[in-house]
Amino acid sequence: MKKYVMMLVAVALLFTLPNISPVSAAKNPKTILEYYHDVTGDGTPEKVTVYGISFKDNKDYYQEVLAEIDVKGNRKITINYEGGFEPKLEFADLNHDGVDDILYSSATGGSGGLYNYALHTVKDGKLFELPLPEPLEIESSFQNNFRAVMTIPGIKNPIHLDLTSRKADYIRLGLYQKNGTLNEPAELMIDPIAIFKIVKINGKDGYGLKSYRQVSGAYHADGIGTVEVLSYYENGRWNTIDVQWKASR
């Protein structure tokens, strides 16, 4: 009988405990960052805590990252993110609904300098993931005589590239013959979007995103330039405001 009473007490305690954070059940979570920012639109800054679970062989890399937002009513909103190095949050009203959204980023650690990104809104305490601008469909090809051409949506004329300064390397790699003839059709290396930056858009209310994509030649370290795109969210979608080609020096 005594054992039965103890079991009932244990069950009663289980159901009367306060809400337990999902992070408390995670494996060795580490508090990475704390922010205080109004992300629900109630006029009061919410506490936003970023937690990470380190990779056992690399303490600087977080295999799991999540954010917990303390909202009214003793309630928590949890956002799960992709892992990475140096995770951080930025706040800006990117969908222009009067409440700041949450932009997450973390470095992948790869040679391309790429970052993981995610964009969320928790207006009125409701979590919703917003899309990010899609990369432009860029067409490219190497040409004879150590040249290349790119067609970039948003830029009126094709971009013609003179790559003669790299010809010794390209001949050694077998991309070209000594006379400048291309051995076989080949495209430039065009990375995914590496970085998003929150920027003020001239002529528009509020903020948008500027994205950067590296374009390389025969190999990734053979950087040729960067495609920079300004995007602005309106009418439920991202619209391209401006596109620039910046050649490497």
- The number of residues making up the chain comes to 249
Same-domain pairing of 150 and 119:
no
Report whether pLDDT(49) > 50: yes
The answer to whether residues 136 and 229 touch, using CB atoms and an 8 Å cutoff, is yes
Q: Decide the pairing of beta strands 207-216 and 189-190.
A: antiparallel
Report whether pLDDT(221) > 50: yes
Structural domain boundaries enclosing 92? 21-130
Q: Which of 67, 96, 130 is the C-terminal boundary of a domain?
A: 130
15 to 8, 10, 11, 74, 122: CA distances (angstroms): 11, 9, 7, 16, 28
Q: What pLDDT score was predicted for residue 233?
A: 97
Same-domain pairing of 80 and 112:
yes
C-alpha of 4 from chain center = 54
Same-domain pairing of 25 and 125:
yes
| Residue showing tokens 């490219």 | 140
Same-domain pairing of 27 and 121:
yes
Q: Which residues pair with 139 in a beta bridge?
A: 151
Same-domain pairing of 181 and 80:
no
Output 133 or 12, whichever has higher pLDDT.
133
Helix and strand element counts for the chain (H, E) = 2, 16
Same-domain pairing of 113 and 159:
no
Q: Which of 86, 110, 130 is the C-terminal boundary of a domain?
A: 130
In a domain, 9, yes or no: no
Q: What pLDDT score was predicted for residue 8?
A: 33
In a domain, 83, yes or no: yes
Same-domain pairing of 181 and 115:
no
- Among 18-32, 106-120, 209-223, top mean pLDDT goes to 209-223
- What is the C-alpha to C-alpha distance for residues 69 and 66, in angstroms, rounded to an integer? 10
In a domain, 63, yes or no: yes
The answer to whether residues 199 and 133 touch, using CB atoms and an 8 Å cutoff, is no
In a domain, 3, yes or no: no
Q: What pLDDT score was predicted for residue 155?
A: 96
In a domain, 238, yes or no: yes
Same-domain pairing of 59 and 158:
no
| Residue showing tokens 């005589």 | 145
> Coil, strand or helix: which one is 179?
coil
Q: Which residues contact 76 (CB under 8 A, 6 or more apart)?
A: 19, 21, 22, 68, 69, 70
End-to-end CA distance of the chain: 83
Same-domain pairing of 147 and 126:
no
Output 209 or 14, whichever has higher pLDDT.
209
In a domain, 241, yes or no: yes
In a domain, 199, yes or no: yes
DSSP 132: -
Same-domain pairing of 226 and 147:
yes
Query: pLDDT band at 23, cuts 50/70/90?
Result: low
Q: Which of 82, 103, 130 is the C-terminal boundary of a domain?
A: 130
Total domains in the fold of the chain: 2
Tally Cβ neighbours within 10 Å of residue 213.
Answer: 20
Same-domain pairing of 161 and 185:
yes
Same-domain pairing of 108 and 189:
no
